[in-house]
């Protein structure tokens, strides 16, 4: 019973572990890069770190007492995933530097082609390819005329010095908010081109003490209790992100107070204040972004990059700004996954064609017409209030249980339609759809909320259980699952 997993980030590693816990070791993990880690391998820009508390951003099966900070730096997360792979003995199942080039359902099995010019025959295929993998490069007139180093934040050029140079950053999302203060600390002269300001709340990051790390290492129960506490806090944040009027007002007041405390100039504050509902876009965490702007060390241009004229950047407001280095912090191709065109189901239809009107799946995981296939971290599997690792682990456990059941795994179009209707009903009236912003959570093709799960982690797990019980009915002899 061969299972092929595509991707060796959190999702792929979680899937391999869940399968192993079910006694399924005939597993191949394809990874196109030369190392594991997913987004934490690819994103190495200065200041990169998690915006979920460290002890909630690990796998439940592998608690880690030694996180150095409350919010783990990117290199520690990558090292943690490498540690998990070694601890679980997954190295012999990994095929690094091996990309998926095609997969087709044929004769009751998946025929998976790879960049190593081989074909694997698999009973099950798990797509754990991630959402934030392929950078989005905006179509900007004259971009190719820029004479200096030009790169996306997710493809950082460590050979490019920044000290004493004019570094322009286009975008004010999560990456830019981490990147800009670090560029300032490294001596760059930063100009930040902002299309849309973000709601930013205090981060509260700090180093962990040696005594804390020793306590968590020596007392696993204390480490579990901390994780449980952070999980509960995260679930409580759902109210403010989803539009509960009291919770949203309190969170918005916190963000406004944070801005007022760190940016004394009223005109600059106005330029940094969003005009959309709290939670409509991803809420960011930072203690040093506003000070970097307020000090003048990073100069804010409250207008998007509209044109490039050699080494001069032209903003949408007509202002012109010279730069030596241009960094695009412009996000990812999240709503239309590049791997989808490579996967063909039983009726000759690709996943890309199935998703041509928007990203959909039954319980965010199974797709009609694609038997024995699981999509982890796919449609409506992102979170705006808690750790996305919790969702990936839930999907991995779901997939492993169905694989272990040893029966064909199929969902109907009606099951997918019910899941889609459930998401639409939960999303209706929330800030994600009615808050007055443009967000990567929403698919431009359909206008639907297709990336974010508009519910709690507990509700997502219940949703998976309902589908699992429909596919593997519980009998009186089996008892409760």
**Could you give the domains of the chain?**
3-134+333-471 (3.50.50.60), 143-199+244-328 (3.50.50.60)
Q: What is the pLDDT of residue 134?
A: 86
Q: What is the pLDDT of residue 166?
A: 98
Q: What is the pLDDT of residue 444?
A: 85
Q: What is the pLDDT of residue 481?
A: 36
Rg, the chain, Cα only: 23
C-beta of residue 224 within 8 angstroms of C-beta of residue 253: no
Closest CA to 193 of 286, 332, 322, 283: 322
| Burial environment of residue 151 by CB neighbours within 10 A (0 to 12, 13 to 18, 19 or more) | middle
Half-sphere exposure of 131 toward its Cβ, with a 13 Å CA cutoff? 21
The reply to whether the predicted model has a pTM over 0.85 is yes
C-beta of residue 465 within 8 angstroms of C-beta of residue 403: no
Q: What is the pLDDT of residue 131?
A: 82
Q: What is the pLDDT of residue 337?
A: 83
CA distance 447 to 433: 8
C-beta of residue 259 within 8 angstroms of C-beta of residue 273: yes
C-beta of residue 85 within 8 angstroms of C-beta of residue 94: yes
Tens of pLDDT along the chain (481 residues) come to: 699 999 999 999 999 999 999 999 999 999 999 999 999 999 999 999 999 999 999 999 999 999 999 999 999 999 999 999 999 999 999 999 999 999 999 989 999 999 999 999 999 999 999 888 889 999 999 999 999 999 999 999 999 999 999 999 999 999 999 999 999 999 999 999 999 999 999 999 999 999 999 999 999 999 999 999 999 999 999 999 999 999 999 999 999 999 999 999 999 999 999 999 999 999 999 999 999 999 999 999 999 999 999 999 999 999 999 999 999 999 988 777 889 999 999 999 999 999 998 899 999 999 999 999 999 999 999 999 999 999 999 999 999 999 999 999 999 999 999 999 999 999 999 999 999 999 999 998 889 999 999 999 999 999 999 999 999 875 334 444 3
Q: What is the pLDDT of residue 338?
A: 85
Half-sphere exposure of 461 toward its Cβ, with a 13 Å CA cutoff? 11
Q: What is the pLDDT of residue 333?
A: 81
> Helix (H, G, I), strand (E, B), or coil: what is residue 121?
strand
Q: What pairs with residue 371 in β-bridges? A: none
C-beta of residue 226 within 8 angstroms of C-beta of residue 202: no
Helix, strand, coil shares of the chain as percentages rounded to 5? 35, 20, 45
Q: What is the pLDDT of residue 1?
A: 61
Q: Could you tell me the two tokens for 267?
A: 């005109």
Q: What pairs with residue 77 in β-bridges? A: none
C-beta of residue 16 within 8 angstroms of C-beta of residue 84: no
DSSP string, 391-430: HHHHHHHHHHHHHHHTS-----HHHHHHHHHHHHHHHTTS
């Amino acid at each position: 019973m061969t299972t092929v997993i595509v991707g060796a980030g959190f999702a792929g590693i979680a899937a391999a572990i869940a399968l192993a816990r079910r006694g399924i070791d005939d597993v191949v993990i394809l990874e196109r890069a030369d190392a594991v880690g997913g987004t934490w391998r690819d994103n190495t820009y200065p200041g990169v770190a998690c915006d979920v508390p460290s002890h909630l951003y690990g796998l439940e099966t592998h608690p880690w007492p030694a996180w150095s900070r409350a919010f783990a730096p990117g290199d520690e997360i990558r090292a943690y995933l490498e540690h998990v792979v070694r601890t679980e003995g997954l190295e012999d199942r990994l095929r690094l530097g091996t990309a998926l080039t095609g997969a087709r359902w044929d004769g009751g099995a998946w025929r998976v082609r790879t960049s190593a010019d081989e074909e694997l025959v698999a009973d099950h295929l798990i797509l754990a390819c991630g959402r934030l993998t392929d950078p989005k490069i905006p179509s900007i007139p004259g971009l190719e005329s820029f004479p200096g180093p030009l790169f996306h934040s997710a493809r950082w050029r460590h050979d490019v010095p920044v000290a004493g140079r004019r570094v322009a950053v286009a975008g004010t999302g999560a990456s830019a908010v981490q990147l800009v203060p670090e560029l300032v600390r490294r001596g760059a002269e930063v100009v930040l081109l902002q299309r849309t300001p973000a709601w930013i709340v205090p981060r509260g990051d700090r180093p962990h003490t040696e005594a804390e790390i020793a306590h968590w290492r020596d007392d696993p129960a204390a480490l579990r209790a901390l994780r449980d506490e952070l999980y509960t806090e995260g679930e409580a944040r759902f109210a403010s992100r989803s539009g509960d009027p009291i919770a949203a007002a309190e969170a918005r007041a916190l963000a406004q107070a944070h801005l007022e405390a760190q940016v004394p100039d009223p005109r600059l504050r106005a330029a940094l204040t969003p005009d959309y509902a709290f939670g409509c876009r991803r809420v960011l965490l930072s203690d040093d972004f506003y000070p970097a702007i307020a000090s003048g060390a990073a100069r804010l241009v409250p207008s998007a990059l509209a044109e490039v004229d050699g080494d001069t950047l032209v903003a949408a407001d007509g202002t012109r700004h010279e730069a030596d280095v241009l960094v695009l912090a412009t996000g990812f191709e999240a709503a239309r996954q590049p791997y989808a065109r490579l996967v063909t189901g039983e009726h000759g239809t690709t996943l890309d064609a199935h998703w041509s009107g928007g990203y959909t799946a039954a319980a965010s995981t199974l797709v009609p017409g694609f038997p024995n296939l699981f999509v982890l971290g796919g449609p409506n599997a992102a979170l705006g209030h808690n750790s996305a690792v919790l969702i990936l682990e839930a999907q991995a456990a779901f997939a492993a249980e169905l694989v272990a059941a040893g029966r064909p795994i199929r969902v109907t179009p009606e099951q997918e339609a019910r899941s889609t209707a459930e998401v639409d009903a939960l999303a209706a009236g929330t800030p994600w759809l009615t808050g007055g912003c443009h967000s990567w959570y929403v698919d431009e093709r359909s206008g639907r909320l297709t990336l974010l799960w508009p519910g709690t982690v507990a509700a997502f797990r219940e949703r998976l259980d309902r589908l699992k019980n429909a596919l593997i009915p519980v009998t009186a002899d089996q008892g409760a699952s």
